[in-house]
Structure 1
Amino acid sequence: MGTEPLARKLAAILYADVAGYSRLTGEDEEGTHRVLSAYLDAITTSIERHHGKVLHYAGDAVLADFTTVSGALICAAAVQQDLEVRNKDIPEKRKVQFRIGVNLGEVIVDRGEIYGEGVNVAARLESLAEPGGICVSGTVYDAIGNKLPLDYEFMGEQSVKNIEKPVRAYHARIRPGVALPTPTATPKTKWSSRHFAVGVVVVVSLVIVTSVITWLAPWSKERIALPLPDKPSIVVLPFANMSDDPAQEYFADGITEDLTTDLSKISGLFVIARNSAFAYKGKSPDARQISHELGVKYVLEGSVRRVGEQVRINAQLIDASTGGHLWAERYDGSLAEVFELQDRVTEKIVAALAVTLTAEETAQHVDQKTSNPQAYDAFLQGWARYQLHTPTSLAEAVPYFEKAVHLDSGYSHAHAALAAVYWESWNNGWVESLGVSFLQAFRQAEAHLEEAMRRPTPLAHWVAFSILASSGEDYEQAVREAERPVALEPNNATGHAALATALILAGNATKGAESIKTAMRLDPLYPSYLVILGQAQFALERFKDAAVTFERAVKRNPDNEWPWVYLAATYGHLGITEDGQAALETYNELRIQHGLAEFMLEHVDHWRFVRGSDRDRVRAGLSKVPDPEWKALITRGPEGYEVQGVPRIDTATAKALHERGARFTDLQYWTQDWIAGHIPGAVRLEAGRVSQVRLWEIAGSKDQALVFYGEGSAHACAKAITWGYKHVYQFSDGMVGWRAAGYPIEKGE
C-alpha cells in the first residue's frame, strides 16, 4: 500500500523557547507575560528583517523558517544581543531568557506549517542551548564554516529524544566587540525603483497588451486576468479521494493526471498543466475565480473512490463563465477497466465541447500504456513520489517503477520514469540515495531510456533531450528531441519549456522566448518557467526586462539558486553592482545549503551553450560585480585564466617540483576525471571548497611549495597568494601535459 505523498523542502529552521518559563510565571504571571509579549514582538521583527517567516507560536516558543542558513543564524545572534540589552537592568532571577536552536534539514510542508525530523532536531537543539545562548546542528556548522563572526564549541554527538541517530551539536557564541552583518534586502533594480519609473509603466503596459503573463508573489490574492484562448479551454482540478483509505490519494492524483494528459494530446483543446491545476488541491475555489486566474472557460472536477478492485469516478464539467454544470456523471468499473473509464470521461468532454479529433489523436486517445492494472497501480504509487523531486522521494519511487516493468516489461512510461529517476539523480549528484555509483546511475538511465524509446512518451523524449543537452555534443538532435513531446501533446507545458531551453542553448533565444511564453500560458502558476524566460531575455540583451523577470523568479521561489546568478550578471550589465554583489552572495549561500561548492567564474566555461558569445555575456556581467580581494588577481588571457604573482609552469618544471616534494592539488572539474587519472600523491579538491583550513591541512606551512592544476587552479592560486603562501605555481597543462610526457599516474578514488 502506498502512503500519501507529502511536499518536502530543505529549510533553515529556528526554534526559540524561554528558559525556566514555568518558574517565572509561577512567581509573577502577569509581569512575565507582559515581558514575554514584548520580547516575542522583538523576535518576530528580527525574523522578518532577516528574511525569515514565523510559522508557529506555542506559548513561550516560536518556530521560524528561513530561506538561507546564514539568515537564520545571524537572526539568532541578533535576537540574543537585543535581549541581553533588554535584560540588562532586570534582576537575574526575573530575566526572560530564550534558548535558540538552529538546524538545516528537510521538512514536510502542509497547509503553511512545517513538520518532520528537521523541525524536531531544531527543538532538541534548543533544549541543549544555554539560557541566552544558541545551539546549532552539524549541518548548520558545515554550511556556514567561518563565514560569520561567531565562535563554535563542539558538544559532541548528542542523543536526543525521538531522534534515531545522534545529532552533532555546537554552541555558537558571538565574538565580543564584533558587529553582526546587517540583513541584505532582496535586491531590486535601481532603474526600476528610482531612475526608470516611467520605464516600468511602459514595460508593464506592454506585458498586459501582449498577453505575456505577470506572476505575482504566491501570497498575493491579486493576479492579472488572463484572456481566453481561441479554442475551448479547460483545467482538470485534482480529483478528491473519497476512498475510506487516505493512502489512496496517489490513485486519485493519478486519475487526474491521466485525464489531463489524455486531453493535452488533443490539438483542438487548450489544457492547463498539472502544476497549476494542483495549486488548488485541497481547496474549494469558485469556478469563476479559477477562470480569472488560469484563463479558461471550463473546469472539470470530480472524485475517485476505490474499494479493493472496484473503482468509481464521479466527474462534472462546469462552465466557469456562468458557474453552470454542463454535465455530471458517475463511472463504475473494476481496476482492470480503469483505462476504459478514463476514456469515457475524455470522450464525454470532447463531445460536450464539440471538439473534432484527428485520426492520429483518436489513435493516441485509445492507446493504453499498459494492459496490466497492477502495473498501472504500482506506477501511480511511484509517480506520486517522483513528483516530489527530492533525493529521498526519487529513491522511494524506484521499487514501484521496477514492479511496474516487472509486471509488464513493455510498459514504456514506467521505463521512461526509471530513466528519469536515474538521470535526475546523476545530474543532481543524488546517486548516493539510490545506492549506486555515478556510472551505474548513468547506465541505468540509458538502459531504461532504450526500452522507453520503443514506444516513446513525452517523458522519454524529455530524458533524451536532457542527456543530449548535458553532453553538449549534438544540439540539433537535442532540439529535435525537445520538439517531439510538443508534437505528441500540444498542451504539454513541460515539453514547451524543454524546447525553449534547447533553443536558448542552441543560440536561438527569440524562438526560445516564444516557446517559454507558451509554457507559461499553459502553466501560469509555475514559477520555474520565469527563469527560462529571463535567460532568453538575457541572451537577447534585454537586460532591463531580464532583471524584472529574475526578480519575480526569486520572489516566487527564493530557494531556487539559478535565478540569483543570472540576476547578479544582469545587474552587472545594468551597472547596479552593489545589488549584483548581494545577489551573488545569496547564490553562493544557496549553493552551500544545497551541498554544492562555492561558485567561481570558471564554472561558466562548462555551461552548455553552443555559442561562446552566450558564455561571454554571462562572464561580462558577473565580472562587473565587485569581487573579494583574491578574485581581483584573476584575469582571462589568451591561454586561459591567469593569476597575478603566480608563475604558470610547464610539464618539465612540474615534474621537477614533484620530485622535490611540492604538494600537488587536483582541481579538475569532473570527479570522473580524477578517478580516471591524477598525479601521484595529489589531493583532490573542488575549487569552490578551497578554504584557509583546508589549504593549511594540505600545506602545513606557508613556505611549502604548492602546485595547482585543473580548471579551478586559478581560483585556488589566487586564494593561496592572498592568504600568504610564498611558493605557489599554476600547472596550466595539467593532466594533458603530464600524460603526454609519459609520467606515471594514479587512478581511482
Structure 2
Amino acid sequence: MTDEQIQRRLAAVMAADVVGYSRLMERDEAGTLAALMVRRKQVLLPLVDKQHGRVFKVIGDGVMVEFASAVNALQCAIDLQHEMETANAALSEDLHIVLRIGINLGDVMVEGSDLYGEGVNIAARLEATAEPGGILISGTTYDHVRNKIAVGFEDLGARPMKNIVEPVRVYRVFSTPRVVVAASKPIPGRPTIAVLPFTNMSSDPEQEFFADGLAEDLITDLSKVPGLFVIARHSSFAYKQRSIDVCAVARDLGVRYVLEGSVRRAATRVRINAQLIDATDHSHLWADRFDRDLADIFQLQDEVVGKIVSALSGVLPVAVTSGTRRAASLDAYDLFVRGRVLVTQSPESNRAAPPLLEEAIQLDPGFADAHAWLAMSHHFAWAYWLDAAENHPFLALTAARRAVALDPENAVGHAVLGDVLIYDGKPEEGAAELAMTLRINPNHADAWAFQGQLKAFEGNAIEGIRDLRNALCLNPHPPGWYYWLLGLAQYAAGRYADAVETLRHEATHKLGSQRILAASLARLGHMDEARAEAEQFLASNPDFSINHWANTQPFRHEADRQHFVDGYAQAGLPR
C-alpha cells in the first residue's frame, strides 16, 4: 500500500481479552467456546451498539472495537465489566469468564474494515497489563474522559511499551472491583471443612502461638480422615483477627463445614470452646467446652478430633481417625509452634525458625514434627528463599530422614524429604516420598505443589499444572511460592501468557520467581517489560547467574533446562 492509499483517522480503540483462556479451554473446550459465543452475542455486541462502536477484529478470545468517542469507549468498557460480573454471579468461580480491557485514543490506519498502527497497538499493550476484571486507559484517553464519567482514576505513571517509541502514560479505572480468578473448587459431594484460627482468650498475648498451634494441629489431624476435604492452614488463617461471617468464609473457601473456637490458657489449666457449623443453613452440628489440666492438652487434641469426626459421621465414608504422635514435652511444643509459623512466611522469618525448632528437639529428641519442620526450614532457605546453600541441603535431608524414622506416618517429613531428594538428583525416590505423603494425608497441599513441580521437571508440565491447581484448591489463599511453582510449570508448558498472569500475583512478584516472569515476557516479545523485570530481580539477587542456576535444577531432559536458559538469556539475565 502506497502512502497515497493509506487512510488515517482518530479513533478510540478498546481491546478486550479473556483471562486464563487456556485454563478454561483445558477444562472444557466446547463449553468454553459456546459460553464465549453467548457472551459476545448477548453482552458485548449490544453494549458496543449502544455506544455506537464497531467490532473490527476478533482473535480467539480477544476482540478489538472502534469508537468515535473516548467517552463512549470507556462507558462501554465499564458496562461490559459490570455485565460480565453479573453473568458470572450465577456460575461456579472456576467457570467465570473474566476480561482485561485496554483503551487508547490515537491515530489509526485504515485498510478495508480493519484498523492497525500505533493507536491500536497501545490499546493492546494496555489490555495485556490490566488486572483481571480491570480497565487501563492511556493518557490521551484520560484527557478526553476525565470529569465526564463518574469513575475514579489512578495515575500509574509513564510506562515503556513494546515497539512504542515514547513511554505511554497509563491510568487505572477503579469503578469496577478487582477480580480473583480461582483455580478450581473442591470435589462435589465430598464433605469439606475449614478450621479457622482459634481466638486467644488468655490475658497473655504470647499465648497467641499456643492457640494458633492447636488450630493448626487440628487441621493436620482432620486432613488424615478418609473422605474429608480440609482447607490448608495458610488459607484458613487468612481470616485471623478479622470480623467474619462464617457463611461468607465458607463460600470463599468452597467448604460446607466450618470449625471455630477459642482457647484460654492460665497457669496449669486450659479451656477450649469449639463449635462445628454447617454453613449451608448456619446450624450447629456440635459444640462443646473442655476444661482440663494443661498436662492433658495432647490427649485433649485427640478428643476434639474424635468429636468432630463423630459429628460428621453421617457424611464421611468411614468415621475413623488415625493416631498422631504428639510431643512429650509442653515446653517443646511451645517452642515448636513458635518456630513452625515462621518457616514459610518470608526469608527473614525463616531464618529465625531453626533456633526455636532445635531447642524444641533438645527438650524432646523424639518430637518428629519438630524435626520435619526443621527440615522444611533448611530446605526452603536455599531452594525457595535463595539463601546461600551452605549446609542447608545436608541439614534438610538429615532432619527429614530423622522425622520419618521417628514417625513413619509423619506427612510433613515425607513431603519435605521428597522435595529434598528431587533437588538432590533422585527424582524417583522423591516421587515415592511424595506419594507416601499423599497416602497419609491426601489433603497435604504442599505435597501436591511439590509433585506438580516435579512433573514439570520430568517433562510432564501439563500434569504438573493440574497438580498445582489441586494444591490451590486445597489452599486457595496460599503463600507466594505456590504461584512461583505454577508459573514455572506454565512456562515449561509454553503457556507464557498464563505464566505472566500467575507470576504477577502480588504474593510472588518480587520473589525469585521474577526471573521466570522476565523469561515469559521475553518469550511473548515484550522485551522492555522483560528487561525491567530482570533488572529488578538482579537488584535483589546480584549474584545470580544462569549457568549456576542451571547446574542446580533437576530437569530430566536437557531440552527443558535449555528452554529456561534461553528464556533467561533473552530477558537479559547474566550467563
TM-score of the two chains, using structure 2 as the length reference: 0.65
Please give the secondary structure, in 1, of the residue aligned with 2:541: helix
Deviation of 1:232 after TM superposition, in Å, equals 1.1
User: Are 1:534 and 2:487 counterparts?
Assistant: yes
Percent of matched pairs sharing the same residue? 35
The aligned counterpart of 1:372 is 329
Deviation of 1:254 after TM superposition, in Å, equals 0.2
Q: For the residues of structure 2 that align with 1:453 and 1:201, how far apart are their CA atoms?
A: 39
Contact 1:547 1:570 in 2 (8 A): yes
The aligned counterpart of 1:269 is 228
Give 1:419's aligned amino acid: A
Unaligned runs of 5+ in 2: 1-12, 28-90, 99-130, 134-173
The aligned counterpart of 2:369 is 413
Please give the secondary structure, in 1, of the residue aligned with 2:442: coil
User: Are 1:452 and 2:396 counterparts?
Assistant: no
Deviation of 1:395 after TM superposition, in Å, equals 4.9
Deviation of 1:450 after TM superposition, in Å, equals 3.3
Q: Cα deviation per residue 1:307-363 (whole Å; 9 max; x = unaligned)? A: 11211110111222223322321112122221222222222222222244759x63x
Alignment of 1:127-526 (within 5 A): 197-198=16-17, 200=19, 202-203=21-22, 206=25, 211=94, 223=180, 227=185, 229=187, 230-353=189-312, 354-356=314-316, 362=321, 364=322, 366-391=323-348, 393-425=349-381, 427=383, 430=387, 438-439=390-391, 443-454=394-405, 455-456=407-408, 457-472=410-425, 474-526=426-478
Q: Cα deviation per residue 1:40-88 (whole Å; 9 max; x = unaligned)? A: xxxxxxxxxxxxxxxxxxxxxxxxxxxxxxxxxxxxxxxxxxxxxxxxx
Contact 1:223 1:293 in 2 (8 A): no
Contact 1:228 1:297 in 2 (8 A): no
Contact 2:500 2:521 in 1 (8 A): yes
Work out which of the two has the higher radius of gyration on C-alpha atoms and give 1 or 2: 1
Say which of 524, 542, 545 aligns to 2:498: 545
User: Are 1:614 and 2:560 counterparts?
Assistant: yes
Contact 1:212 1:517 in 2 (8 A): no
Q: For the residues of structure 1 that align with 2:331 and 2:350, how far apart are their CA atoms?
A: 21
Contact 1:216 1:556 in 2 (8 A): no
Say which of 496, 508, 527 aligns to 1:577: 527
Deviation of 1:565 after TM superposition, in Å, equals 1.7
Q: Cα deviation per residue 1:227-264 (whole Å; 9 max; x = unaligned)? A: 55321111111001001111111000000100000111
Give 2:557's aligned amino acid: R
Q: For the residues of structure 2 that align with 1:568 and 1:395, how far apart are their CA atoms?
A: 28
Alignment of 1:649-668 (within 5 A): none
Question: How many pairs are equivalent?
Answer: 417
Shift in CA distance, 235/210, structure 1 to aligned 2, threshold 3 Å: closer
Shift in CA distance, 315/224, structure 1 to aligned 2, threshold 3 Å: farther
Alignment of 1:614-633 (within 5 A): 614-625=560-571, 627=572
Q: For the residues of structure 1 that align with 2:509 and 2:381, how far apart are their CA atoms?
A: 22
Unaligned runs of 5+ in 1: 1-193, 432-436, 632-687, 689-714, 716-749
Please give the secondary structure, in 2, of the residue aligned with 1:382: helix
The aligned counterpart of 2:66 is none
Q: For the residues of structure 2 that align with 1:537 and 1:430, how far apart are their CA atoms?
A: 25
Give 1:565's aligned amino acid: R
Give 1:341's aligned amino acid: L
Q: For the residues of structure 1 that align with 2:497 and 2:451, how far apart are their CA atoms?
A: 24
Q: For the residues of structure 2 that align with 1:333 and 1:508, how far apart are their CA atoms?
A: 52
Q: For the residues of structure 1 that align with 2:522 and 2:393, how far apart are their CA atoms?
A: 37
Give 1:475's aligned amino acid: P
Shift in CA distance, 386/542, structure 1 to aligned 2, threshold 3 Å: closer
Give the RMSD, CA atoms, in angstroms. Answer: 3.2
Give 1:586's aligned amino acid: Q
Contact 1:423 1:442 in 2 (8 A): yes
Shift in CA distance, 500/205, structure 1 to aligned 2, threshold 3 Å: closer
Shift in CA distance, 446/232, structure 1 to aligned 2, threshold 3 Å: closer
Q: For the residues of structure 2 that align with 1:423 and 1:615, how far apart are their CA atoms?
A: 22
Give 1:415's aligned amino acid: H
Please give the secondary structure, in 2, of the residue aligned with 1:268: coil
Please give the secondary structure, in 2, of the residue aligned with 1:608: coil
Shift in CA distance, 558/272, structure 1 to aligned 2, threshold 3 Å: same
Shift in CA distance, 327/248, structure 1 to aligned 2, threshold 3 Å: same
